[in-house]
Amino acid sequence: MSFRVNFYQSSPAAVQAMQGLEKYLSSIADRPEGLPKALMELVKMRVSQLNGCAYCLDMHSKDARAMGETEQRLYLLSAWHESPCYTAQECAALEWCEVLTKLSETTPSEACFERVKRHFTDKQMTDLTLAINAINGWNRFCVGLGAEVGSYQVGQFD
């Protein structure tokens, strides 16, 4: 898909607002109180799978590979429920991203919340929810307004 509307040019302030979320998330990545960067890439990929965003899948699979993620884990991500290669924390984050991305189908149950809460502090849960919100927003920009799939280069937006 190519741009239907080049949102970078048509509304730079909107893009800057979205990039502000990404800057915050990058600033907390791999810090003791933050979230592992590798986990955030898995979350971004899974949300992008659910939303059918080819641009974001291309981007985050490239970024994950550059960080050392294995091909097997990338291939199995859509079937993470059945795969033994993800940690309990990763599974909790993936469950949380699925339930928050599919709000029209379900809401987070107390059981789901408690499973996720076992693996994250309140701050981490808030930041994880922000990361899920951010990638859902980017997916909507790219799917709705179009983006040049395959054009992303690792580190392009750093």
- pLDDT interval class at 60 (50, 70, 90): very high
What's the pLDDT at 1? 66
**CA separation for the pair 125, 85 (Å, rounded):** 22
- pLDDT interval class at 58 (50, 70, 90): very high
DSSP assigned state of 86: S
What's the pLDDT at 3? 75
Give, in words, the CATH class of 13-145.
mainly alpha
Q: Are the beta carbons of 136 and 101 closer than 8 angstroms? A: yes
Q: Are the beta carbons of 154 and 62 closer than 8 angstroms? A: yes
Mean local confidence (pLDDT), 27-53: 96
CA 158, chain centre distance (Å): 16
Q: What number of helices (H) and strands (E) belong to the chain?
A: 8, 0
What's the pLDDT at 128? 98
Report the predicted TM-score, pTM, of the whole model to 2 decimal places: 0.92
**CA separation for the pair 20, 101 (Å, rounded):** 21
Q: Look at the alpha carbons of 56, 146, 19, 157 in this order and tell me if their dihedral is positive or negative.
A: positive
pLDDT at 151 over 90: no
Q: Look at the alpha carbons of 113, 57, 70, 80 in this order and tell me if their dihedral is positive or negative.
A: positive
Q: CA nearest 60: which of 135, 132, 128?
A: 135
- pLDDT interval class at 64 (50, 70, 90): very high
pLDDT-wise least confident of 74-83, 128-137, 146-155:
146-155
* Residues 6+ away with beta carbon under 8 Å from 122: none
Mean local confidence (pLDDT), 47-58: 96
